[in-house]
Amino acid sequence: MSETKLKTAVLGLDDRGRFLLEAASQIDYFQIQAVADKDANLAESTGYKYKCDHYDDYRQLIMQNQFDCLLVAAGIHSCDEYIKMAMKKKTNVLKLAPLARNFQEAAEFVRLAEGENIKFAIANPMRFARSYLALREFLQQGGLEQIFFITVFCAVGNKQAGTWQNDPKLAGGGVLLRNCYQIIDQIVWSMGMPQQVYCLNTNTASDRQQRSYLTEDTAAVTMKFSDSFFGNLIAGKVFGPELEVLRVYGKDKILRVSNDRFIISEGPGQKSEAEYDDSERTRYRALLENFALSILAPDENKLCSSARENLNDMAVIEASYLSARTGMPEEPGRILKMAQTEPTNIRPTHK
């Protein structure tokens, strides 16, 4: 491995992939050597722009090269076997969220990465958002005497999605998995895994039979953390701006956090508000630098948002989808324990 530069490839060049590529290209730790996308013209033009090799065949990208790290933006249905192939060649991987389509797939990735002794990280840029870091620090310092309730509202922009994103087998899930992953990560990271979850979800298809073959557009999840601590998450596709707000209700304070604000309310007229100007680009730069330094200087730089940590998120999501099918509360902890078994004996997220 290069002492100061990581030989890097980017797999998948949609909007998110190009954003990830641009951010990595501006960081000295990365040396972009190749890009790949199923769209041959897009791969060629991007390769020309960044003066690197380009591929429209993911298998050839991995087989013909030895990279230090692979940045993955492509849909997991199109590249799962090639990610595994790269791992077996000792290539470190950073993947855009979600970790996988279901818990079983996630656990298989984690076991393979740990068996090959490589870094496998999930890009959760909200872990580097100053507003959410302020919330985490406030909670760790005991700023809230007792948490008894949290609410999350996630309004997802009703953008035209690729056909595969509407297919449960290809996408794994809808708004809960693909749009709420990072806020679920924040909840689990800062407040722990809920003991039980109960979920209802649906989509906008008019025909009931058709709904079973489409990913969900709306989800409501109730979480039980303890006998005195509950939470609700509501998510859905809407016409209008995207919005994500987390409220934490304690014995003597209410906390409100969004992507750029952290507000503490202590009573009528008693409010302190901090506004942050860090951008999505800044957060991606921070997570990419953390990933690179965890490889180049692991003793001084702990990897943030490892795939192993993200199994907690996947267990919550898996339990939510299972609850939506059974109509009963389900336990994420029970699902998480299955990651210790070989093979993982759990039903997939969708039939």
Topology of the domain comprising 127-278: Dihydrodipicolinate Reductase; domain 2 (3.30.360)
Cα(170)–Cα(184) distance, integer angstroms:
21
In the chain, list all ranges with CATH 3.40.50.720: 6-124+282-303
| Superfamily in which the 6-124+282-303 domain is placed by CATH | NAD(P)-binding Rossmann-like Domain (3.40.50.720)
In the chain, list all ranges with CATH 3.30.360.10: 127-278
Predicted TM-score of the model (pTM): 0.92
Structure tokens at 304: 């943030």
pLDDT tens, 262-309?
A: 999 987 778 899 999 999 999 999 999 999 999 999 999 999 999 999
Reported residue count of the chain is 351
Cα(330)–Cα(200) distance, integer angstroms:
12
What are the contacts of 86-90 at 24+ separation with CB within 8 A?
86/62, 87/112, 87/113, 87/116, 87/118, 87/120, 88/112, 88/116, 89/62, 90/116, 90/117, 90/118
Cα(100)–Cα(105) distance, integer angstroms:
6
pLDDT tens, 116-136?
A: 999 999 999 999 999 999 999
Helices (H), 8-100: 15-25, 40-50, 58-63, 80-88
pLDDT tens, 187-236?
A: 999 999 999 999 999 987 666 656 666 889 999 999 999 999 999 999 99
Side by side, which strands form the sheet with 243-250?
A: 196-202, 218-226, 229-238, 147-157, 243-250, 254-257, 261-267, 270-275
